[in-house]
Amino acid sequence: MSVTLVFPVSTPDGRAYLSQALERGEPVVCASVDASDPTAGAAPWVRLPLVHEPAFLPAFLALVETHGVTRIHAAAHMVHAALGDLLREQGLTGLKIINRSPLQQEFARWDDIFARAGNWRRLIGALVPAKAPPEPAFLAGVIRLAFDLFGESYDDKLAALLACLLDAPDGDMVEIGSLFGRSASVLLAGRGLGGADRRLFVFDPWSTEAAAQKEMPQIMQDYTRAAGLERVALAFEATFAALAPPGAMTAYRTPSATGNAIYRGQADGEAARLLKARPALRPAGRIALLHIDGNHDFEFAAEDVELWSPLVPPGGWVAIDDYCWRYGDGPRLAGDALLQRWGDEVARAFVAGDCLFIQRAA
């Protein structure tokens, strides 16, 4: 049976591979230069010298022989390079390094990010031809940050959010439903586009019960209830406590209707406010960009539109996520109702990444 050496297991990549290998039931042996076992006994571990030391080769060969190693996950760039040379020089054809160099993996990741940034720039330019799109380096940074966060918003929709901010009036950005904060991170990064100085207000109950969408198939409802969304609020707050500049955003752990009362100054939201180490923000009362991504049942999607869209001034945008939702018609019906209600007040409307974007006529 093939045995994989994870070396060094003490790096983040090494620990991640070990965890996944143990879940798969893959036979592994671990190694590092640490004085004590960094796996805490989770797998067999051997202390090896540094790869450039003379004692490394005999210790490494003894480990391979003792444990029957045929595969190596080399979890550090210098180790990967040194082992590649060693396997060639020693003619160890029975051993195979199964991963790319961590440094090469990172270069490849950034190549992909910059390629996507080029696509974002072209899409933004097509959506807002009168405005210069953001520079590739900015867009690449936005993509890197956003996709380090778990979420279900993807490239076309997120690029379109930035396009809207380029062509939106002054006012706040309001997001209804945020999960871990992928789209919120994009809005936060784009707050100054178009020469504005916007602030972000997020309202999300982060509650399994509030997120239950009864128009979905039962099995999908069960998956949602099993997700444990209460824990997500902790991750969201940790992310934006580090990411958001002072005075740039605030968030409330509350449903949309209560959040609307808080935003309008009709309710005290202090008990529901996250990021309490920062002063509360005073809403402008005008919403330059409203992103609705809460409960998708028609009852709630329609309520979100009804409550929040009157606060969008001429030139402002409403984005209704999952307009083309495969599990129900709530967002589509709510979006179509807003298009009909605004009628001649609609300046533009388009769909990007399953999200409906509507601009109110200036």
What pLDDT shows up at residue 43? 97
Tell me the mean pLDDT per 10 residues along the chain, length 362: 95 97 97 97 97 97 97 97 97 96 96 98 97 98 98 97 97 97 98 95 90 67 69 96 97 97 97 96 98 95 98 98 91 98 97 97 90
String of DSSP letters for 30-57: EEES-SS-TTTTSS-EEE---TTSTTHH
What pLDDT shows up at residue 340? 98
- DSSP 8-state code for residue 297: S
String of DSSP letters for 157-197: HHHHHHHHHHT--SSEEEEE--TTSHHHHHHHHTTTGGG--
What pLDDT shows up at residue 220? 63
Contact status, residue 175 vs residue 161, Cβ threshold 8 Å: no
Q: Which residues contact 198 (CB under 8 A, 6 or more apart)?
A: 165, 170, 171, 172, 173, 191, 192, 288, 289
What pLDDT shows up at residue 225? 64
Side by side, which strands form the sheet with 69-74?
A: 45-47, 28-32, 3-7, 69-74, 96-97
Q: Measured in whole angstroms, how far is the alpha carbon of residue 136 from the centre of its chain? A: 19
Contact status, residue 170 vs residue 191, Cβ threshold 8 Å: no
What pLDDT shows up at residue 156? 98
Which residue from 341, 319, 342 is spatially nearest to 331, judged by alpha carbons?
319
Q: Give the whole-angstrom CA distance, residue 173 versus residue 202.
A: 8
- Tokens for 38, please give them: 């960094």
pTM for the whole structure: 0.92
What pLDDT shows up at residue 230? 83
- DSSP 8-state code for residue 9: T
Contact status, residue 148 vs residue 174, Cβ threshold 8 Å: no
Show the CA angle centred on residue 58, arms to residues 54 and 59, nearest 5°.
Answer: 100
